[in-house]
Chain A
Amino acid sequence: MYEPGILVRKPREEELDQLADLIKRFYIFNEEFDPAWSIVADPDNTARIVAKEYIEGAGETLVALIDSQVVGYIHAEIRENKMLEAGKIGVITEVYVHPQARRRGIASRLVEEMQALLGEKGVRHIAAEFPAQNIVAKEFYSKLKFRPYASIYLREV
């Protein structure tokens, strides 16, 4: 189902720069959908800080590699609601594949691998969060059999 030669695993320290670049690209892409998604003035530095946190284990992160190059990543966090039977939910907050590596099913593969990883941690549902106007994300998750589950409404304080 997936192309051979694509490796998916947790990111390593030496991949910080490459991961930071993908994180920055993810936020630049999503920026246009809603003013509340506007990115900080120094996206390069901040993306490096975030990448470092991800590598050190903040949330769950996986990277996809082709020929030892990081070409995509996925990040998720586990949220728990004690009142719900569902309990822990794994929420995918970021996915990005480098344009050079697209149309090979890498994003789908990242979601599958993330689901497996979260499953091992007792998660029975996975969700995805993205700007309401991002039709590409909407189509992507619909194709992977995700359904609308919660809505987030926003206003300025």
Chain B
Amino acid sequence: MPEKKEGVDWYSLSLTLHRFYGGKIETIPKVPVRRIKDFAIWYTPGVAEPARRISKDPDESFELTSRWNTIAVVSDGTRVLGLGKIGPEGAYPVMEGKALIFKFLGGVDAVPLVHRGRDPEKFLELLELVEPSFGGINLEDIESPKCFYILEEARKRLNIPVWHDDQQGTAAVTLAGLINAFHLVGKDIRKARIVLIGAGAANIALYRLLKKYGVPPENIVVLDSKGVLHPDRPDIDKLMISHPWKYQIAIETKGGGLPPGAGPDKALEGADAVVAASKPGPGTIKKEWIAKMAKDAIVFAEANPVPEIWPWEAKEAGARVVATGRSDFPNQVNNSLVFPAVFRGVLDVRAKTVTDEMAIAAAEELAKYAREKGIHEDYIIPTMEEWDVYPREAAAVAVKAVELGVARKTTTYQEEYERAKTIIATVRKKYEMLWENGLIPKPPVDYE
């Protein structure tokens, strides 16, 4: 069913415009070509010298080529948006859209790389084989639990940052929202009871971040479609083989002290916060359950297009802070607030990896930015329009990479902030010039 907002049929408009423009991105040179002879610099014979230099020291590829600012957006098309297994070609427009956002918000050159390597080992081999072309890898829309294995292994095998946005991106922006929501209600997140409904990529990564952030595992309850992840679940030993990530959560949280077999209604009793990243609502989360939560309850209902519970229903049931995945409600938990900035930061220091600590650094900076602006019930996270948040996050991530010893180049917060700001502003300026000069044709159809 098409999602219509203000009468706009986004599906039909999108199809028309994708056909009109023939995709969304292209490559544009950034060096002067004043006359044909200039190619002797950029291509043969001149280029032989940078090539020789890089051959002796491969890390020079980050300085002498565009590798430092180029990443691959990689998907096997096995779990695309809410569309499921639509194949690599089907995933292409989504990856291309991601690449557009990377450039626009982070100044990062991103290349869609969709492929047929559904087998995790083939997928990993592909990443290893193409590593020399890129400064980072953004994994996207890969089915669970395969995505956990691929991320874990790729992080071990590759010497460039590998990020799975459906895991770390969503988890980091959720963490930022939670930090500020707890700030607002005056509770200590590290002493709070937090319930995660849904055990897919986002919530499993959020569990990992919360733990690293200092929330004791026993304070966290995670539920999948069969109920609470609990050491006494009948399928616990089978999970050890089939889904070690759910297994680990069950063992570490001990089911949050709940009886085995408990469902979300029981889990939410007395809870301070709930993060649902499960199946679209409405009614996935019931008002009666929210009513049983602790005072000043925090409710994040992140399913798209329809949240697990409508924000007004959650509020009527007693929730104080509500966030969703939608841009038409306050407090949008949106990955786009994180991934362009994280890659800006890691690329600028030529980082060898991107760790959970770095994702937390991005989340903290995002939260701090909103606090400085003044948080309230309807503003716990910045919006995508507040673009100064991107260089700030990039700076926080870059400094953390240096601190952790995973950066090839050193920097300071201020230096990276200025650099990121310049890079992103320059992209916007170039883009505006193309638009204003009519080099990007006007769309033949539009929305109001």
Contact = CB atoms under 8 A, between A and B. Distances in A.
A63 to B, nearest CB: 19
Contact of A102 (B231, B238, B241): B231
B241 A136 contact: yes
B250 A32 contact: no
A99 B241 contact: no
A39 interface: no
A37 interface: no
A28 B250 CA distance: 19
A135 B252 CA distance: 21
A71 to B, nearest CB: 11
Contacts, number: 24
B254 interface: yes
B240 interface: yes
B252 A100 contact: no
B254 A100 contact: yes
Given A100-B232, A103-B252, A135 B241 contact: yes
Interface string B216-252: 0000000000000001100011101100000000111
Interface string A99-142: 11011000000000000000000000000000000011000000
A99 B251 contact: yes
Interface of A: 25, 28-29, 32, 98-100, 102-103, 135-136
Contacts of A29: 237-238, 240
Interface in B239-282: 240-241, 250-252, 254
Contacts of B241: 32, 135-136
A28 B241 CA distance: 13
Interface in B46-81: none
6 contacts: A29-B240, A32-B238, A100-B232, A102-B251, A103-B251, A136-B241
Contact of B250 (A25, A99, A136): A99
A136 B248 CA distance: 13
B155 to A, nearest CB: 19
Contacts of B237: 25, 28-29, 99
Nearest to A96: B237
A122 to B, nearest CB: 34
Contacts of B252: 103
Nearest to B239: A99
B251 A136 contact: no
Most buried by B among A98, A99, A136: A99
Given A102-B231, A136-B241, 14 more contacts: A25-B237, A29-B237, A29-B238, A32-B238, A32-B241, A98-B231, A99-B232, A99-B236, A99-B250, A99-B251, A100-B231, A103-B252, A135-B241, A136-B240
Contacts of A98: 231
Nearest to B233: A99
Nearest to A30: B237
Nearest to B230: A99
A41 to B, nearest CB: 18
B268 to A, nearest CB: 23
Contacts of A25: 237
Contacts of A99: 231-232, 236-237, 250-251
A100 B231 CA distance: 6
Contacts of A136: 240-241
Contacts of B231: 98-100, 102
A138 to B, nearest CB: 11
Contacts of B251: 99, 102-103
Most buried by A among B236, B237, B252, B254: B237
Which 9 residue pairs across A and B have the least CB separation, nearest first? A99-B231, A29-B237, A100-B231, A99-B236, A102-B251, A136-B240, A103-B251, A99-B251, A136-B241
Nearest to B234: A28
A102 B236 CA distance: 12
A131 to B, nearest CB: 11
A98 B251 CA distance: 10
A148 B108 CA distance: 49
Contacts of B238: 29, 32
A32 B231 CA distance: 19
Contacts of A102: 231, 251
Nearest to A103: B251
Nearest to A133: B241
Contacts of B254: 100
Nearest to B248: A103
A135 B237 CA distance: 12
Nearest to A32: B238
Interface string B140-176: 0000000000000000000000000000000000000
A124 to B, nearest CB: 32
Nearest to B240: A136
Interface in B11-26: none
B235 to A, nearest CB: 10
A103 B236 CA distance: 14
A100 B232 CA distance: 7
A141 to B, nearest CB: 15
